[in-house]
A and B are shown apart, each in its own frame.
Chain A
Amino acid sequence: MERIIKERSTQVHTIGTSAHDLDCEKKSLAGSVSQRACVFCGSRVVLYPIADALHLIHGPIGCAAYTWDIRGALSSGPQLHRLSFSTDLRERDVVFGGEPKLYTALTELIEAYKPKAAFVYSTCIVGVIGDDVEAVCRKVSAEQKIDVLPVMAEGFKGTKKDGYKAACDALAKLVGTDNEFQAPPFSINILGDFNLAGELWMLKEYYEKIGVNIITCLTGDGRINEIRQAHKASINVVQCSGSMMHLAKEMEEKYGIPFIKVSYFGIEDMADALYEVAGFFKNNEMLQKAKDLVSKEIKTLLPALAPFKEKLQGKKAAIYVGGAFKAISLVKALRLIGMKTVMVGSQTGNKDDYNLLKKLCDEGTIIVDDSNPNELSEFVKEKGVDLFIGGVKERPIAYKLGIGFCDHNHERKEALAGFEGMLNFANEVYASVTSPVWKFFKR
């Protein structure tokens, strides 16, 4: 591994051989071909699924163009979130300030679309030219009588993670604004699911079957009015801990709503999620229903997985995803279909996540934080990997190396959560790993 940048050596760890703790939550080195994105990206992906809100991006056109309908976050109703709105700042605005343009754009948009609320994202340059986005939002909010929420997402202020926080800050202003609402018993909020490929709808069905009521999902298939009522839930069930922990913590502090961290990926984690919620409500009937549901699902799922497992037994996988919490579930799910994880990494994992991964994975597994294509391809070659799990930028690299690929990011086309999702996952992995195309070249 001679081509790892010296300064990066503390962010790579091989289980059983390196003594040091994995260094993480560091800024990327200048000059690296990092797979990471920015603050704006983090806030945009989190808030994007709120379908009846207006999302206006205050900045030059790029930030809006690149985030136009890129996330398969499905809505059961309005599709307003899939349009791209930008103030399209020009040189003149950069010199004289973009506030008038922002004001006019917001007003025009709200009058035309009558959204339930508006999110205004400030981008890098807005932070530098000194537009008072908050003041413009306040003004328009007063005039139009709707919530206009600034999302302070200047790209350079940190990593995607800081963007998650900016998004949570904006959401926190909505939560608790509807006090009329009376929550039915056993009410929860789902935090950190984005309804990619309709996954939330599957989860909802599971929860409903065991007698749990969902007030809102933040933010998959999200609606402003439901978010306002979120503080009436008994518990927050948090997935993708990276993106929504801030809000969960804030709601705990402000409204005394406890939270649990769950994952919906893989049989074990999915079942645990249901059991934990039932356990929280200390309701035996609910727990029994959860057990029944799980055993019924497993009864059909395991035999369906068996043929895949047989073919995939002993194959090796590499994982490189946004958050490390997701990676933990992936390691377990891969095990369920007979596969071994030999490399696992994330863009923004924290110490706890990485320590968990260290415990979970076998000796010799490489764990890496904030990696780059060079490192990734070296690891993959060194370990003789058969499958790569990652996002849009990793896919073509894996294919060029002749390795199967599964998108576990925005571009997943099949639901991967829940029990059905596990079968989809196995099917997708199997199809890619055993594709006949691999026989046309030597690895």
Chain B
Amino acid sequence: MLLNHTTSKIVERKALTVNPAKTCQPVGAMYAALGIHGCLPHSHGSQGCCSYHRSTLTRHYKEPVMAATSSFTEGSSVFGGQANLLQAITNIFTIYEPDIIAVHSTCLSETIGDDLGQIVSKAASDGKIPEGKHVIQAPTPSYVGSHVTGYANMLEGIVKYFAKKSDNLKNQLNILSGWVEPSDMRELKRILKLMKVKNVLLPDTSDVLDSPMNGKFEMYPKGGTTIPEMVSMGDSLHTIALGEWATEKAAINLDNQCKVKFSMQDLPIGIQATDRFIQSLAKLGSVSVPESINDERGRLVDVITDMHQYLYGKRVALWGDPDQLIPLAEFLVDMDMKPVYIVSGTPGKTFEKRMEKILSKSVPEAKYKNGANADMFLMHQWIKENPVDLLIGNTYGKYISRDEKIPFVRMGFPIIDRIGHSYFPTLGYMGGLRILEKILSELMDQQDAACPEESFELVM
């Protein structure tokens, strides 16, 4: 019983987070920056931050993750980190030769008052940025928001720097992707191709963090949104932003800066969210939905019909990031399951409103919480009060799963003990089918393992 410290009596905690359902901003900024081509993320702070983020991303993707650091010392924390960042920019362009350096801050550099924008301008005016090379930046104070906020801030930093409005309107849509896996970004591109919608997808970590084994170590793998693509985003017809927490800032920026209007949407997880995505693609891209996509939808609905008896009424606990949890909860309700407990360490007021709308009628008993103290400890206490049939979330659920003997589907960030997330998407109708398959496999494996011998069934 690894978690025998968890008590079923829920204690009010004032100042304490136990087993967090989130992490800090910079790792999100690093992940987002890896989704642009030829970019080296740079962490402006102590060495440890950079090391931790690289290790976490490496554990999640089983891929090399490159990023540089300003290597703060005691001196930098007193006199400011400007000298470190200027030296870093010179060194990075000389040695690692990226096209773009994406600098994000840390709690330390924010607290001592380093102004990344000012330092980067100084680097430019001092001639430290070679021609044709770029330094972009985003503030990511670790004590505000969560890892998702860092992702959002870096996306905003990217479009702010690159997107330009020219006189030539382009017949293309901007797709701002929320924090999803390389497999999901690949799936978005597949759907967009089937729909025949010209587009720029930002960021795009496919072919970066799922790169093939070829006997070479490539500092800058072939994937990632390119500079011309990012520049052209200012001339697009419209932006579809997928996931409010991760993409709204960038979408608003594109609107303000280049007058590209945007539609804020959920990540296309499950039937309804994917329906909305496909419909807006059809409308905004002035295309019709091809039969092949309708067929994918039909197959997903077909499997739900076939297996409904195993899904009906099952109580589910989920944790992770709001952008995933909202459409996932909706999908679970559509499959007649009951998402009864939901936590996210990521703050944000609309979370509760959205969940209430999705859950109030069909799962009135549901408990959900985000922000301070919405952690895995609270989740475990809820489960101890009244158990669930299934857990869905990142790797940190494995303790609860083991202690309480509850089937567990891994989804979210980080997943550091299983593979698959990099290669098999959870977005779109096909992604929905994968979520469904995983849920059913776990539930039915559990039934096979736990049921009495006389009710052990061959045909299910």
Kindly count the residue-residue contacts between A and B in the assembled complex, taking CB atoms under 8 Å apart: 251
Alpha-carbon distance between A209 and B266 when the two chains are bound, in angstroms:
64
Look across to chain B and name the residue whose beta carbon is closest to the beta carbon of A65.
B23
Q: Does A183 contact B (CB under 8 A)?
A: no
Q: Does A212 contact B (CB under 8 A)?
A: no
Q: Does B56 contact A (CB under 8 A)?
A: yes
Shortest Cβ distance from B182 into chain A, in angstroms? 14
Complex interface: chain A residues within 8 A of B211 (CB): 400
Residues facing B in A385-417 (CB within 8 A) are 392-393, 395-397, 399-402
Look across to chain B and name the residue whose beta carbon is closest to the beta carbon of A94.
B143
Shortest Cβ distance from A103 into chain B, in angstroms? 8
Cross-chain contact B111 with A65 (CB below 8 angstroms): no
Cross-chain contact B54 with A31 (CB below 8 angstroms): no
Query: A101 is contacted by which of B15, B40, B53 (Cβ under 8 Å)?
Result: B15
Q: A94-B143, A125-B143, A393-B58 are in contact. Are A401 and B217 (CB under 8 A)?
A: yes
Residues facing B in A147-164 (CB within 8 A) are 154-159
Alpha-carbon distance between A103 and B15 when the two chains are bound, in angstroms:
9
Shortest Cβ distance from A411 into chain B, in angstroms? 9
Residues facing A in B39-78 (CB within 8 A) are 40, 42, 45-56, 58-59, 61-74, 76-77
Cross-chain contact A374 with B95 (CB below 8 angstroms): yes
Cross-chain contact A41 with B217 (CB below 8 angstroms): no
Residues facing B in A124-147 (CB within 8 A) are 124-125, 127-129
Report the stretch among B82-90, B156-164, B279-287 that lies at the interface: B82-90
Alpha-carbon distance between A397 and B58 when the two chains are bound, in angstroms:
10
Cross-chain contact B96 with A62 (CB below 8 angstroms): no
Query: B18 is contacted by which of A36, A83, A124, A127 (Cβ under 8 Å)?
Result: A83
Mark contacts of B1-41 with chain A using CB atoms, 8 A cut-off: 1 yes-contact digit, 0 otherwise: 01111010001011111111011111100000000000010
Complex interface: chain B residues within 8 A of A38 (CB): 46-49, 51
Cross-chain contact A104 with B46 (CB below 8 angstroms): no
Cross-chain contact B15 with A108 (CB below 8 angstroms): yes
Mark contacts of A318-342 with chain B using CB atoms, 8 A cut-off: 1 yes-contact digit, 0 otherwise: 0000000000000000000000000
Shortest Cβ distance from A273 into chain B, in angstroms? 31
Q: Does A59 contact B (CB under 8 A)?
A: yes
Complex interface: chain B residues within 8 A of A158 (CB): 73-74
Cross-chain contact B84 with A30 (CB below 8 angstroms): yes
Count how many chain A residues have C-beta atoms less than 8 Å from C-beta atoms of the other chain.
79
Shortest Cβ distance from B412 into chain A, in angstroms? 13
Report the stretch among A12-20, A85-93, A167-175, A238-246 that lies at the interface: A85-93
Q: Does A302 contact B (CB under 8 A)?
A: no
Cross-chain contact A442 with B215 (CB below 8 angstroms): yes
Most buried by A among B15, B27, B92: B15
Shortest Cβ distance from A125 into chain B, in angstroms? 4
Look across to chain A and name the residue whose beta carbon is closest to the beta carbon of B62.
A396
Alpha-carbon distance between A154 and B70 when the two chains are bound, in angstroms:
16
Cross-chain contact A31 with B89 (CB below 8 angstroms): yes
Cross-chain contact B49 with A127 (CB below 8 angstroms): no
Q: Does A1 contact B (CB under 8 A)?
A: no
Q: A84-B19, A374-B219 are in contact. Are A125 and B70 (CB under 8 A)?
A: no
Complex interface: chain A residues within 8 A of B42 (CB): 31
Look across to chain B and name the residue whose beta carbon is closest to the beta carbon of A67.
B52
Shortest Cβ distance from A137 into chain B, in angstroms? 15
Q: A60-B142, A128-B112 are in contact. Are A155 and B49 (CB under 8 A)?
A: yes
Cross-chain contact B217 with A61 (CB below 8 angstroms): no
Look across to chain B and name the residue whose beta carbon is closest to the beta carbon of A159.
B47
Mark contacts of A238-272 with chain B using CB atoms, 8 A cut-off: 1 yes-contact digit, 0 otherwise: 00000000000000000000000000000000000
Alpha-carbon distance between A154 and B73 when the two chains are bound, in angstroms:
10
Cross-chain contact A125 with B107 (CB below 8 angstroms): yes
Shortest Cβ distance from A297 into chain B, in angstroms? 33
Most buried by B among A66, A87, A105, A441: A66
Q: Does A22 contact B (CB under 8 A)?
A: no
Interface residues on chain B, size class? 35 or more
Cross-chain contact A60 with B73 (CB below 8 angstroms): no
Q: A66-B52, A66-B56 are in contact. Are A61 and B20 (CB under 8 A)?
A: yes
Query: B106 is contacted by which of A5, A36, A93, A124 (Cβ under 8 Å)?
Result: A124
Q: Does B199 contact A (CB under 8 A)?
A: no
Cross-chain contact A28 with B143 (CB below 8 angstroms): no
Look across to chain B and name the residue whose beta carbon is closest to the beta carbon of A396.
B64
Q: Does B303 contact A (CB under 8 A)?
A: no
Q: Does B449 contact A (CB under 8 A)?
A: no
Q: A5-B94, A66-B56 are in contact. Are A441 and B213 (CB under 8 A)?
A: yes
Shortest Cβ distance from B61 into chain A, in angstroms? 8
Complex interface: chain A residues within 8 A of B108 (CB): 124-125, 128, 155-156
Complex interface: chain A residues within 8 A of B52 (CB): 37, 41, 62-63, 66-67
Q: Does B239 contact A (CB under 8 A)?
A: no
Q: Does A35 contact B (CB under 8 A)?
A: yes
Complex interface: chain B residues within 8 A of A80 (CB): 5
Cross-chain contact B55 with A392 (CB below 8 angstroms): yes
Q: Does B353 contact A (CB under 8 A)?
A: no
Q: A36-B51, A373-B64, A396-B58 are in contact. Are A62 and B16 (CB under 8 A)?
A: no
Cross-chain contact B19 with A34 (CB below 8 angstroms): no
Q: Does B270 contact A (CB under 8 A)?
A: no
Alpha-carbon distance between A27 and B69 when the two chains are bound, in angstroms:
12
Shortest Cβ distance from A186 into chain B, in angstroms? 36
Q: Does B268 contact A (CB under 8 A)?
A: no
Alpha-carbon distance between A395 and B51 when the two chains are bound, in angstroms:
14
Cross-chain contact B17 with A86 (CB below 8 angstroms): yes
Most buried by A among B50, B59, B64: B64
Shortest Cβ distance from B80 into chain A, in angstroms? 12
Residues facing A in B205-221 (CB within 8 A) are 211, 213-219
Q: Does B141 contact A (CB under 8 A)?
A: yes
- 16 sample A-B contacts, Cβ–Cβ < 8 Å, listed by A number: A30-B71, A31-B87, A37-B51, A62-B24, A65-B22, A68-B396, A85-B16, A104-B15, A108-B11, A108-B13, A109-B16, A373-B64, A374-B95, A377-B217, A392-B59, A441-B215
Given known contacts A125-B143, A156-B76, what 15 new A-B pairs fall within 8 Å (CB)? A30-B88, A30-B91, A31-B68, A33-B40, A66-B55, A83-B5, A84-B19, A86-B16, A105-B15, A128-B77, A128-B108, A155-B108, A156-B46, A377-B217, A393-B64
